[in-house]
Structure 1
Amino acid sequence: MKLMHIKNYLFVTLFLVFGFATAQAQTGNIQGTISDENGIYVSGANIFIETLNKGTISDFDGRFTLVGVPEGTYTLQITYIGYGNVDQEVSVASGETASVVVELMPTNYQLDEVEVAAQGLSGQAKALNTQRTNLNITNVVSTDQIGKFPDANIGDAVKRIPGITMQVDQGEARNVIVRGLSPQLNSVTLNGSRIPSAEADNRNIQMDLIPSDMIQTIEVNKAVTPDMDGDALGGSVNLVTRTAPQGFRLSATLGSGINFITDKRNLNASFLVGDRTKDGKFGWMLGAVIQDNDFGSDNIEAEWTDEFAFTNAEGEEEELEVNPYTNVAEQRTYLVQRVRRSFSANFDYQFDANNSIYLKTMYNWRDDRENRYVLAQEILDAEDIGSDDFTITNGIPTRFPAEIARETKGGIDNNRNQNARLEDQRMQNYTLGGNHLWGNVKVDWFTSYAKASEERLDERYAQFATEYTVINDNSDPEFPIMTAANPGDANNLSAFEFDEITNETQYTDKMTSIFLSMLKFLRTFLEKEMGP
């Protein structure tokens, strides 16, 4: 019975589709692309036919479609912020699709003693046009705007958008927070395809996996629309990779520096090349990025309390009310090597004005090697503190016995770990899609496969411990410190006894795959009546 219903539904749908297309046989369509002076596609451009009061806007690939256009010759009026207006003549034949390629040029405005040039605005102009023409609350940033800042990964670039903050790891932005909502309540997509998390215990997307050089546009949707996943309460971040240009394009960067904490060099290199065949049908874009950053950090971590307990002469536990003081203090040193690699290959093929397909791929791989050294000092429990073992000055404990621990975090000595804790995170995404126009019906489809993984091989923690009396100095609340009452205790490493060691191996991978097909009656949903 259910099979019969499905067959009937398919028959009715196909009947409506072809019937609707046939009904428009006395009209034609216009489909085209819009690019800038560098051959880069632009989105958010207005395309308008004044005589028909019919118009639309270009998408992220610079494509636009106008359907149901009567036979004849018309003038397309293309307007775009920061660029000169273009009037393009096009002839439409019944039952056919006219193809148009438009190139926009930046404009210069001569004022009294002031010259305003569009060169600096050209990149962000694309983003502003897209932001202006989107239906929901959106912020869009282009690759040219990203390049003005020294952001190594895409997380550092996203945090510059209004309403966005990031959770930071070792100085690099990692997890996105939209409008104050935690990272697990937001979603991240790559070319509209969902990216899985590489970590096992959460759904946070590691934004520092992707170098900023690999992304063409960042689109932050702060109001989720019906065509998006419904699990993003805060918002959705869509990363658009670079597409094939209209002509040959080559870009390369190389940079280096020194980190003054580790006195080691940093290396950054990127390579981008793309072109399109002379007939304009086949386009390709290849990109590769490597970033090798050897850095470190020193920090102090402390816990505060207003309670103090000890054992009195009668052997009973006694509690005292004191002013807040640090009962735990840790001095930490981190030595980190972060190697980030990314590879991208994007292709598209235009069969004719009505049919095209594309393939977008990206592979990101980050090795994060870390050695952590900790000197941890914590006040002993009440039963281990006698009435003569401590000193309280002005209501603050300034001397007391503490447990001292020296901890190390590292790994085994091999070619991969290199005697450090290795966090191997990878993310890959492959998307195959197409755009087809049948009369007044447009079919957009794509299928994608994405995988994220994290591997930690032989992660080792070791701890040695002892006890001695410390001097607690809280005179500077921002930098509290505990020091040995007898300096010789801190330097006597033989007094530290082996406490514990752990060795752990972890592996996590997550995969997502999707096939999505959208059937659009363009006359109803896509066309907008707008002014020139």
Structure 2
Amino acid sequence: MGLKQLLLFFIIALFSSSLLAQSGKINGFIKDSTGEPLPGATVVIEGTLQGTAAQADGFYQILNVKPGTYTLKATYIGFAPVLIENVAVNIDLTTEIDITMREETFEGEEIVVLAERPVVQKDVASSQSNISKESLDALPITSVTDAVALQAGVQGLSVRGSGSDEVSFNLNGFTLRSERSNSPFTGISITSIENVQVQTGGFNAEYGDLRSGLINVTSKEGERDRYTLDGLIRVTPPQAKNVGQSINDPNSYWLRPYLDDDVAWTVTDNGAWDSYTQDEYPSFQGWNAFSQSTLADDDPTNDLTPEAAQQAFLWQHRKDFAITEPDYEIDLTFGGPVPYVSERFGDLRFSTSFRETQTMYMVPLSRDRYKQTTFQSKLTSNIASGMKVSIDGLYSRETGTSASQAGNPGFFVSPSGIAGSMDNVSFIESRLYASDYWAPTEQTTFNLGAQFTHSISNTTFYEVKVNNYISTNSTNPSPLRDTTDVVFFGGVGFDEGPFGFFDETSFGLASGMRMGVGMSTARDSSEVSVLSASFKITSQINRVNEVKAGLEFIRTNSMVNYGSFDKVLPSGRTVSVWNTTPIRMAAF
């Protein structure tokens, strides 16, 4: 690329007209009732330190405004103050508010105006939607994923048919995404959210690491002068998550041939069942014939009467499928000034959130539920005029059962996910009645970021960000099965199988249910950390054009170790191990 082409490239990138950061802006004209401009009139955002004065033609603008809903106050000597309420500011967009002031007729007069949103947002050059906290409060949802899924072109986190690994999810400008699987972390507190923007196309050069969608979330800051508490609690009583009969009903597919007295003692094709019923269930030789086979072999330790054999079968199919605990979501956010030191440290304020969700599994697996607990905290300080510092922290822990037998990250969560893993596959009986067909897994997520913003003038500001995102995965089998005899039928002892992890060959009575081998083959002990730093500067060179430039540095440390392991069937098992530290840099 020649020098001229390179220069042209940077000019085009710099003069991108969209401010794609975690802020918006407000502008407009201030005039009197005759239409004459009021130069020098002041406009401030109430409850903040942000404001400006009108230019000679009455034009004003306030840059770097955090998304949210505000009240503007315009004042001018000899004129009644004007309050404009319900001024909505969205990420990357301009809110135009023209203000008309009239001469003060008596002291203390104040005019209140309700801001109106335009039918067409003129500075939108992309497919996007904005969701305010008021809209979130009005919707019957409990997660940010639910809110995003309601937008046009989005299903779950799939934007325009793509996968969630092609979506960038940002919280306060910090990317929450595992660079191992490229999957976004979305388990943030919904009561902590101030604004959500979903963009499904038209990305500029600032976002070069996504393909299909951009989700920008801005969280609340603590109030300067009061404490606030927001909460959401939803509880779903314990109930079955499948239709039809229970899996351990005596007439279920897996049990009836062995428990129905019409056929269980002799054979399923003895004529008691018609041909249609016989085709519907597995065939079984009957407990009488099974007992004879145990007596006929050379092993006296397994001799069972028909009745004892049936009791042993029930022991190996004893799993309790009843759901006895509720699903729930608890989401709380508390914030306000930091006690005793707030005024001393630039109105230091905090907002802290707690979120916990529990989803009971349709079928108990190595764990009987998926559970996620998330803590968030945000500290904000206006350390000097035009200078602002914020520190964001997040910690989350997820526990459940791994949806992979190969060691890849991922949990079973929904009933459909579990049901899908038992449709047209081998060893369904083992998947249902054994406890450890899939291994238990855990994932922790940690994020710590700091942001400094400095408004150099009414038209120029810059921001510096540093962020460290760490995701850790741990997948290993449950404790080994106790192979000592814990129960006796007809004088024959049986261990606790099919419960507990067992890496040797083991099969259940009569049905041949696999109780060992091929169980909990997933292994994972990986940690991926991403350290990023960025500098961005924005300058409004005139009313309609803006210059923006930035640099970004990203260092990823991938310590990945996962695979599939089976002691008896090692063939075809793979293990993936790498420890790399790539470094990336970008400029726009």
Using structure 1 for the length normalisation, give the TM-score: 0.54
**Other-structure match for 1:523:** 542
1:263 aligns to what SS in structure 2? coil
**Aligned equivalents of 1:76, 1:345: Cα separation in 2:** 34
**Aligned equivalents of 2:119, 2:336: Cα separation in 1:** 24
Paired residue type of 1:432: Q
The reply on whether 1:423 has 2:442 as its aligned counterpart is: yes
Are 1:452 and 1:510, in contact at CA under 8 Å, matched by a contact in 2? yes
Paired residue type of 1:407: R
The reply on whether 1:263 has 2:274 as its aligned counterpart is: no
- Count of residue correspondences: 360
Are 2:191 and 2:331, in contact at CA under 8 Å, matched by a contact in 1? no
The reply on whether 1:141 has 2:139 as its aligned counterpart is: no
The reply on whether 1:196 has 2:220 as its aligned counterpart is: no
The reply on whether 1:284 has 2:349 as its aligned counterpart is: yes
Q: 1:232 aligns with which of 210, 218, 223?
A: 210
1:498 aligns to what SS in structure 2? coil
Q: 1:492 aligns with which of 498, 510, 519?
A: 510
Are 2:366 and 2:401, in contact at CA under 8 Å, matched by a contact in 1? no
Q: 2:150 aligns with which of 134, 157, 160?
A: 160
1:205 CA drift (Å): 0.7
The reply on whether 1:406 has 2:430 as its aligned counterpart is: yes
Cα deviation, 1:437-489, whole Å, max 9, x if unaligned, reads: 24x651311212131303124246999xxxxxxxxxxxxxxxxxxxxxxxxx9
Cα deviation, 1:84-134, whole Å, max 9, x if unaligned, reads: 997679xxxxxxxxxxxxx99785xxxxxxxxxxxxxx9xx8xx6799365
Cα deviation, 1:204-237, whole Å, max 9, x if unaligned, reads: 2132x21212221101223344352123332311
1:157 aligns to what SS in structure 2? helix
Cα deviation, 1:171-227, whole Å, max 9, x if unaligned, reads: xxxxx22233332332222222323326x2x212132x2121222110122334435
**RMSD between superposed Cα atoms in Å:** 5.1
1:435 CA drift (Å): 2.0
Distance 1:149 1:297, change over 3 A: farther
**Other-structure match for 1:4:** none
Tell me: higher relative CO, structure 1 or 2? Use CA pairs within 8 A at least 6 residues apart.
1
1:155 CA drift (Å): 1.2
**Aligned equivalents of 1:131, 1:40: Cα separation in 2:** 28
The reply on whether 1:296 has 2:358 as its aligned counterpart is: no
**Other-structure match for 1:206:** 185
Structure 1 residues 348-359: aligned runs within 5 Å: 348-352=381-385, 355-359=386-390
**Aligned equivalents of 1:243, 1:264: Cα separation in 2:** 35
**Other-structure match for 1:179:** 160
Farther-moved stretch of structure 1 (131-140 vs 185-194)? 131-140
Paired residue type of 2:325: K
Paired residue type of 1:348: S
**Other-structure match for 1:250:** 228
2:518 aligns to what SS in structure 1? strand
Are 1:194 and 1:512, in contact at CA under 8 Å, matched by a contact in 2? no
Q: 1:336 aligns with which of 369, 373, 376?
A: 369
Cα deviation, 1:132-155, whole Å, max 9, x if unaligned, reads: 365333211112221223433321
Distance 1:364 1:165, change over 3 A: farther
**Aligned equivalents of 1:63, 1:404: Cα separation in 2:** 54
Structure 1 residues 72-151: aligned runs within 5 Å: 132=121, 134-137=123-126, 138-151=128-141
Distance 1:443 1:407, change over 3 A: same
**Other-structure match for 2:529:** 510
Distance 1:156 1:267, change over 3 A: closer
1:293 CA drift (Å): 1.3
Distance 1:364 1:141, change over 3 A: farther
Are 1:32 and 1:63, in contact at CA under 8 Å, matched by a contact in 2? no
**Other-structure match for 1:458:** 476
Q: 2:45 aligns with which of 28, 34, 47?
A: 34
Paired residue type of 1:518: I
**Aligned equivalents of 2:233, 2:424: Cα separation in 1:** 44
The reply on whether 1:445 has 2:463 as its aligned counterpart is: yes
Are 2:464 and 2:534, in contact at CA under 8 Å, matched by a contact in 1? yes
1:203 aligns to what SS in structure 2? coil
Q: 2:199 aligns with which of 221, 226, 235?
A: 221
Using structure 2 for the length normalisation, give the TM-score: 0.50
Are 1:410 and 1:420, in contact at CA under 8 Å, matched by a contact in 2? no
**Aligned equivalents of 2:191, 2:517: Cα separation in 1:** 46
**Aligned equivalents of 2:366, 2:476: Cα separation in 1:** 21
Paired residue type of 1:442: T
Are 1:252 and 1:270, in contact at CA under 8 Å, matched by a contact in 2? yes
Are 1:244 and 1:285, in contact at CA under 8 Å, matched by a contact in 2? yes
**Other-structure match for 2:398:** 367
**Other-structure match for 2:57:** 52
1:436 CA drift (Å): 2.1
**Aligned equivalents of 2:347, 2:68: Cα separation in 1:** 16
Give the structure with the higher percent strand.
Answer: 1
Cα deviation, 1:227-277, whole Å, max 9, x if unaligned, reads: 521233323111111123353131142635333232213351413121386
1:499 CA drift (Å): 3.1
Are 1:411 and 1:422, in contact at CA under 8 Å, matched by a contact in 2? no
1:344 CA drift (Å): 1.2
1:495 CA drift (Å): 6.2
1:158 CA drift (Å): 1.3
Identity of aligned residues (%): 11
Distance 1:436 1:430, change over 3 A: same
Gap regions ≥5 residues in structure 1: 1-27, 65-70, 90-102, 108-121, 167-175, 300-331, 380-401, 413-418, 464-488, 528-532
Are 1:255 and 1:269, in contact at CA under 8 Å, matched by a contact in 2? yes
**Aligned equivalents of 1:275, 1:88: Cα separation in 2:** 34
1:500 aligns to what SS in structure 2? coil
Are 2:366 and 2:439, in contact at CA under 8 Å, matched by a contact in 1? no
**Aligned equivalents of 2:219, 2:111: Cα separation in 1:** 21
**Aligned equivalents of 2:463, 2:198: Cα separation in 1:** 22
Cα deviation, 1:320-369, whole Å, max 9, x if unaligned, reads: xxxxxxxxxxxx998313132222122121512xx212213030303222
1:264 aligns to what SS in structure 2? coil
Are 2:389 and 2:451, in contact at CA under 8 Å, matched by a contact in 1? yes
1:368 aligns to what SS in structure 2? strand
Paired residue type of 2:431: E
Gap regions ≥5 residues in structure 2: 1-38, 71-75, 89-96, 103-109, 241-322, 403-411, 413-417, 482-506, 547-588
Paired residue type of 2:61: T
